[in-house]
Structure 1
Amino acid sequence: MKLYNLKDYCEQVNFLQAVKMGLGKNQGLFFPVNLPTIPEKEINKIIEMDFLSRSVKILSMLIGPEISIDNLKKYVYQAFSFPGPNIVPVTKNISCCELFHGPTLAFKDFGARFMAQIISHLNTKNSIITILTATSGDTGAAVAHAFYNAPNVRVVILYPKGKISTLQEALFCTLGKNITTIAVDGSFDECQSLVKQAFNDHQLRNQTGLNSANSINISRLLAQICYFFEAYALIPKKQRKKLVIAVPCGNFGNLTAGLLAKSMGLPIQSFIAATNANDTVPRFLQSGKWKPYDCISTISNAMDISRPNNWPRVEELFSRKRWKLNTLGFGSVSDKVTTETLLTLQNIGYISEPHAAVAYQLLHNQLKEDEFGLFLGTAHPSKFKNIIDKILNINIPLSETLKSPSKLPILSHYMKPNFEKLKHFLTS
């Protein structure tokens, strides 16, 4: 698999190099040179496969011979060793695709666990690797648990202090051992900026064996393509003809993966990019002007991102496929409307959480009568117990996944958003 740097087309690497590097020159994202397509007559055969076998097939088409089929099969089976997507009908023509049945109750388990397998494959010399990543909530837990106790891997996770839920924090800030967490006095965008600065420091990268587990890393992105195929396979055939998928968007990695699945031939009619008040992309799609504002804290905190990293990949894909950006659905939802939507969903018999509620609301508003809609459930409602219990006047029981960590002390360090301080921390 060949990939090129979106900021320097002359820089080309293979898949394993792209995974190891994370970012290219000038903090550029890597993007596939070739976009494989599955002939229409083959799609049905692939859809009939089971989730794990199909995932191996899809990833082998993308990655090519760099990883043997036997190894790839082993990595996929180990990474996806938890319940896959689950389709739950919500209304007559709308269902939720629940992606939160993994070990940290979030969709990011798919990408983080696959990346952990690839990093292990890469580290043949048993040298020390430092995984540096920023999280707005769910990435941190998925990455921490995927790499927990991994030999020769040090994980450092930055998150905005006081701006993720207490249960999200407990899931990854109580582990210790090879997992180090830093509460940054700032926004997610500032955390993400620190990560980018670290990758731009070549001496630091070489000294610490730096890598990133954000959705900027191509291994995470490719793994996520697989569950879009599974979601399609789980829908009754009569509902597949005009399928619209609403994706809660923060860093836009999830939407990028879905669009890549479509580019491979998966017959999804269209997508809706759903954001909260951090609406840089919806405003851009409406006005043509890229104008990020300061990040706003909302109850859908994992989407509190004003400068989404993966948007350049979305634009590149639309350009390469000669799709028109105006065919992409979009919209933003306020906290007030999100709250009302959670109550609406409860009244029709489905308990959701703020991120999925944002996607449901926009899907409900934009779906046409002859279309079928899926909105992605990206995190388990119990991860937002304080918010959900208050809004819905219920008491969501905590699973063991959340119950045990919630009783443990938070082990995080504290830091102002200062790169020199981070650099000193990483090298000390």
Structure 2
Amino acid sequence: MNFTSTRGNTPSTAIDEALVAGLAPDGGLYVPESVPLLQLQPGATLADTAHAALASYFEDSSLHGSLAAICEHAYSFAAPLRPMSGEGDYLLELFHGPTAAFKDYAARFLAESLSRLRDDGAAPTTILVATSGDTGAAVAAAFHRRPGFEVVILYPEGRVSPRQAHGLECWGDNVRTYRVAGSFDDCQRLAKQALSDESLRQSMSLSSANSISLGRLLPQVGYYAHAALTYHAQHGQALNFIVPTGNLGNACAAFLARRMGVPVGDLVLASNANDVLPRYFAGEDYAPQTTRATLANAMDVGAPSNFERLRHWHDSDMELRAAMRAQAVYDSTITATIRDAPQRHGVVPCPHTATGLHVLEGIRTQGDRRPWAVVSTAHPAKFESIVEPLVGHAVEPPPELARTLSWPASAESLAVDYAALRERLLRR
């Protein structure tokens, strides 16, 4: 299977080349030329389900024979579907990886894939990643001390939690971190500009690990397939999902899983005050906006990149709006939801998960009794300064997160200036 650009100005591309490139040469995002309709079987492990879901995309890849091993590495920790207090209410916990966020699965998949695609003796590849809080740490962990790779992280200074910032700055070795004096959208624009700079790419090997990368999109299909297939086998119903979203990568994966024939029911996107998507799905024109800082900072995105993929997969705005819906959840409601969640739902959520819980509460108030899973994107201990005062007790970080929190951390400051970034990329 080959891949094309959402912008239509890139030749049909093999998956190995698309994985290495990250962004298509015309500035678009890679998508499969066709989406396979699969008959996946329940009862397999998470890694086996992911392998079965991804095999068609890799049938012509040099990675085809090692895809099972790549999946075993990427999905070596659970993604449990946990019942909550309400009947038919579930939490899909995606925070059991090394950096306690859902980004760990795809980052590890991408790192293992690019390592196997790398030619011995080739110049080091720089993985450039813009992050709104969690992506950078997951990518850093996945590529840390991997021979032949360097990582450059761009994150918006002052707009991530203290523990997220530490997780972005604590790696050293082959990982460099820059605090950017701007928003996530500024970081993302800088990264895209570098990835589209042909003269820069002639001087160095450069790739992406943001959700614009095909190597981030495809692996995320795995945990949706596993959760939905397991639930359907046990209950005979499709499982509906509420996906907290900023840059739309995780939501695109849920949509792709459904298009592939996985028994995924309705999809609802939970946004924060950056309400570009809720406004669009309510019928307004798609209109990127200046990013607003919120408690759910990893969703602070005013121009979600993966909207381009969603539009590519639909013939009209009407068709896309029929495929899913979106709701904005503001800080005051996030706060109240975190405070009430232990009693109401039996869980302690991070601020992003709290947006999904609030959307679920509204769905139940409207009388919907179908099964719903809220996608829990990060461990609440990454946001202890927000969560702990609201729930009234300490939230212990998982062991791997606690280990990295004990490491020293450092980063350089960077203006929102492409020339400055370019100079730093070349200074390696």
Per the normalisation by structure 2, the TM-score is 0.94
- Larger mean Cα displacement after TM superposition, 383-392 or 316-325: 316-325
- Aligned Cα root-mean-square deviation (Å): 1.9
Between the aligned partners of 1:28 and 1:89, the Cα distance in structure 2 is 40
The yes-or-no answer on 1:272 pairing with 2:254 is: no
1:366 maps to which of 360, 363, 366: 363
Letter in 1 for 2:5: N
Amino acid in structure 2 at the alignment position of 1:276 = N
**Within 2, Cα distance between the matches of 1:303 and 1:76?**
27
CA distance in 1 between partners of 2:56 and 2:26 (Å): 29
1:87 aligns with 82
Relative to 1, partners in 2 of residues 1:178 and 1:324: Cα closer, same or farther, differing over 3 Å?
A: closer
Change (3 A) 1:298 1:5: same
> 2 CA distance for matches of 1:343 and 1:60?
43
**What letter matches 1:83 in structure 2?**
A
Provide the C-alpha distance between the structure 2 equivalents of 1:320 and 1:31, rounded to a whole number of angstroms: 18
Q: Distance in 1 between matches of 2:135 and 2:74?
A: 15
Q: Which whole-Å CA distance do the structure 2 matches of 1:286 and 1:240 have between them?
A: 32
Q: Distance in 2 between matches of 1:146 and 1:197?
A: 24
Q: CA deviation at 1:321?
A: 13
Q: Aligned residue for 1:291?
A: 287
Percent identical pairs in the alignment equals 32
Q: Matched residue pairs, number?
A: 423
The answer to which of 391-400 and 237-246 deviates more is 237-246
1:236 is displaced (CA, Å) by 6.2
C-alpha distance in 1 between matches for 2:142 and 2:320: 37
1:47 maps to 42
How far the C-alpha of 1:68 sits from its partner, in A, is 5.0
Does the Cα contact within 8 Å between 1:242 and 1:370 map onto a contact in 2? Answer: no
User: In structure 2, what residue type is equivalent to 1:406?
Assistant: L
Tell me the alpha carbon deviations over residues 236-279 of structure 1, each in whole angstroms, 9 at most, x when there is no partner.
64645243200000110000000000000012221001100001
String of CA shifts for 1:343-389, please: whole Å, max 9, x gaps.
22122321111101101211221354341110000101111111101
Q: Are the equivalent residues in 2 in contact too, given 1:342–1:352 (CA < 8 A)?
A: yes
Q: How many angstroms does 1:75 deviate by?
A: 1.1
The answer as to 2:354 corresponding to 1:357 is yes
Match of 1:282 in 2: 278
Structure 2 equivalent of residue 14 of structure 1: 14
1:84 corresponds to which letter in structure 2? A
Alignment of 1:4-403 (within 5 A): 4-38=4-38, 42-43=39-40, 46-67=41-62, 69-127=64-122, 128-235=124-231, 237=233, 239=235, 241-319=237-315, 323-348=319-344, 349-367=346-364, 368-403=367-402
**Within 1, Cα distance between the matches of 2:219 and 2:144?**
19
SS of 1:82's equivalent? coil
CA distance in 1, matches of 2:238, 2:54: 26
Match for 1:98: what amino acid? E
TM-superposed CA distance for 1:185, in Å, is 0.7
Q: Which runs of 5+ in 2 are unaligned?
A: none
Would the aligned equivalents of 1:8 and 1:25 in 2 still touch at CA under 8 Å? no
Q: CA deviation at 1:78?
A: 1.6
Shift of 1:401: 2.2
Letter of the 2:185 counterpart? D
Q: In the TM superposition, what is the alpha-carbon distance from 1:69 to its structure 2 partner?
A: 4.3
Alignment match, 2:403: 404
* Structure 2 counterpart SS, 1:306: coil
Instruction: Supply the distance in 2 between the matched residues of 1:320 and 1:75 (Cα, whole angstroms).
Output: 36
Shift in alpha-carbon separation, 1:362–1:126, aligned structure 2, 3 A: farther
Higher deviation after alignment, 311-320 or 244-253: 311-320
Q: Which moved more, 1:280-289 or 1:370-379?
A: 280-289
Does 1:414 pair with 2:413? yes
**Could you say if the C-alpha distance between residues 224 and 426 of structure 1 is closer, same or farther in structure 2, counting changes exceeding 3 Å?**
same
3-state SS in 2 of match to 1:235: helix
Letter of the structure 2 residue corresponding to residue 261 of structure 1: A
Check the 8 A contact 2:133/2:161 in 1, yes or no. yes
User: Aligned AA for 2:376?
Assistant: G
Q: For the residues of structure 1 that align with 2:251 and 2:20, how far apart are their CA atoms?
A: 23
- Conserved? CA contact 2:98–2:400, under 8 Å: yes
How far apart are 1:81 and its partner, in Å? 1.8
Q: Distance in 2 between matches of 1:366 and 1:88?
A: 17
Question: Is the CA contact (8 Å cut-off) linking 1:11 and 1:24 kept in structure 2?
Answer: no
The 2-side partners of 1:81 and 1:394 are apart by 30
Q: Which stretch shifts more, 320-329 or 251-260?
A: 320-329
Per-residue displacement from partner, 1:191-237 (whole Å, max 9, x unpaired)? 00000110121111221201000011101111000000111134264
The alignment partner of 1:47 has SS state of coil
For 1:87 and 1:9, how far apart are their aligned partners in 2?
Answer: 44
Do the aligned partners of residues 64 and 322 (structure 1) sit closer, same or farther apart at CA in structure 2, a change above 3 Å counting? farther
What is the DSSP-based 3-state SS (H/G/I as helix, E as strand, rest coil) of the residue aligned with 2:114?
A: helix
Q: Distance in 2 between matches of 1:293 and 1:197?
A: 19
SS at match of 1:113: helix
Task: State the AA in 2 paired with 1:410.
Answer: A
Deviation at 1:28, TM superposition (A): 0.7
Cα displacement (A) at 1:102: 0.8
CA distance in 2, matches of 1:401, 1:48: 29
4+ runs of 1 displaced by more than 6 Å? Answer: none
Alpha-carbon contact 2:245-2:270 (below 8 Å) kept: yes
SS at match of 2:11: strand
Q: What is the Cα deviation at residue 322 of structure 1?
A: 9.6
Q: 1:240 to 1:303 in 2, by over 3 A?
A: farther
Question: What SS does the corresponding residue of 1:25 show, helix, strand or coil?
Answer: coil
